[in-house]
Amino acid sequence: MDFSLLEFVPDGIVVADEQGIIVFANAMAVNLFGWEREELVGQAVEVLLPARHRGVHRGLRRGYQEAPRPRPMGLGSDLAALRKDGSEFPAEISLSPLRSGGTTWAVAAVRDTTERRRVEAKALLYRQAKEEVRARDEFLSVASHELRTPVTALHVQLQMLGKVVERVGAPDPVRERVASLDGQVRRLAGLVEALLDLSRIRLGRMELSREPVDVAALAREVAAPYQADLDLARGSSVTVVAPGPVVASLDRVRIEQVLVNLVGNAVKFGEGKPVEVRVDGDAGRVRIEVVDRGVGIDAGEADRIFGRFERAAPAHHYPGLGLGLYVAREIVEAHGGRILARGEPGKGAVFSVEIPG
């Protein structure tokens, strides 16, 4: 029989007679198995299978000859084919009977599934990694909520203790110790809130509650405690510059969070030098700039510092998780705005926020 039309089939095609002897192999099969066509013809089809599968295959082949019909041939989930050089490859094999002149040939279509299995394995790893990340973010959310309650209670208790210490006129070392503990608890509360915000962002649960907000007045509220601290400790200043009220429909709590982060960073990295907060708006947009004259940032760092757990300065110089700017960016972008940074090492930094109002 002429099998030449099978030469153009894109899969490897091997044709065997009723005794399981190979009578034809197309070019793709020759390429797949590494045999010359003349070497394959005349051999038992089992030569293309690993030794561990040959006995089972002979039984399957006899059963197939008794009831030939199109069907996939499977030897379990670990279906493999054998090359001439002894190497194996995962294969997908299907069988079709071909009848002519009282003779039935078995036409096997062989496909190397190495690449497909590699892609499937990568897809499985991706799904597993994605599920692990989701589980981690869920844990982070639950853990942050659980930590929030005792930290808040501890903060309240320390505030009460501080009032008692002041009222009874406790010695300076006692007052200093209570103030130090209160500062540490405040820092811990800030870390918990940062982790909670991170979990909300990762799980897509950050919601905005918009209302009319005077951003200029809000900036002055945020700057006031920093100004008092700088006046006492550094002799520096935080100045808010605005043409008047700048009102926009924003989430007040979230925009305050952005301002606290930017102004706090400017004070922290400003090396005691003046910090200026500029607020203005027009044509339905609000613009905020926080300018310092401190350590500055390199141009190549301007985008990186908005990533999770990223920071512009070494961690041992400035404590923190490196989440503040990441959260600030997410808040600004959730409002439909953008936040950018620019600066120069040793000459300060400018953080610009623009939000449609």
> Which domain-ending residue is among 155, 190, 205?
205
Could you tell me if 97 and 184 lie in one domain?
no
Residues 49 and 91 in one domain: yes
What pLDDT tens digit does each residue of the chain (357 aa) get? 788 888 888 899 999 998 999 999 999 999 999 999 999 999 999 999 999 988 888 888 888 777 888 876 554 456 889 999 999 999 988 888 988 878 888 999 999 999 988 999 999 988 888 888 777 777 777 777 677 778 878 878 888 888 888 888 888 888 888 888 877 887 777 777 777 777 777 777 778 889 999 999 999 999 988 876 665 555 678 899 999 999 999 999 899 989 999 998 898 888 788 899 999 998 789 999 999 998 888 887 888 888 877 766 554 455 556 788 988 998 999 899 999 999 888 889 999 999 997
Domain match, 214 and 356 both: yes
Residue 69, token pair as written in the block: 């019909």
Q: At 144, which CATH number?
A: 1.10.287.130
Q: What is the 3-state secondary structure (H, E, C) of the chain?
A: CCCHHHHHCCCEEEEECCCCEEEEECHHHHHHHCCCHHHHCCCEHHHHCCHHHHHHHHHHHHHHHHCCCCEECCCCCCCEEECCCCCEEEEEEEEEEEEECCEEEEEEEEEECHHHHHHHHHHHHHHHHHHHHHHHHHHHHHHHHHHHHHHHHHHHHHHHHHHHHHHHCCCHHHHHHHHHHHHHHHHHHHHHHHHHHHHHHHCCCCCCCEEEEEHHHHHHHHHHHHHHHHHHHCCCCEEEECCCCCEEEEEHHHHHHHHHHHHHHHHHHCCCCCEEEEEEEECCEEEEEEEECCCCCCHHHCCHHHCCCCCCCCCCCCCCCCCHHHHHHHHHHHCCCEEEEEEECCCEEEEEEEEEC
- Whole-number Å distance between alpha carbons of 316 and 294: 17
Residue where a domain terminates, one of 59, 89, 112:
112
| 137 and 78 part of one domain | no
Residues 56 and 176 in one domain: no
Distance CA 228, CA 238 (A): 9
Same domain, 77 and 131: no
Q: Are residues 259 and 351 in the same domain?
A: yes
Same structural domain for residues 295 and 246? yes
Q: Can you give the pTM of this predicted structure?
A: 0.56
104 and 129 housed in the same domain: no
Regarding whether 118 and 139 lie in a shared domain, the answer is yes
- CATH number of the domain enclosing 307: 3.30.565.10
Residue 322 is encoded by which pair of tokens?
């490196």
Tell which of 172, 187, 205 closes a domain: 205
- Residue 279 belongs to domain spanning: 208-357
Give the tokens for residue 125. 């790893």
Is residue 132 located within the same domain as residue 38? no
Same domain, 252 and 184: no
- Into how many domains does the chain fold? 3
Kindly report the CATH number assigned to the domain that includes residue 29: 3.30.450.20
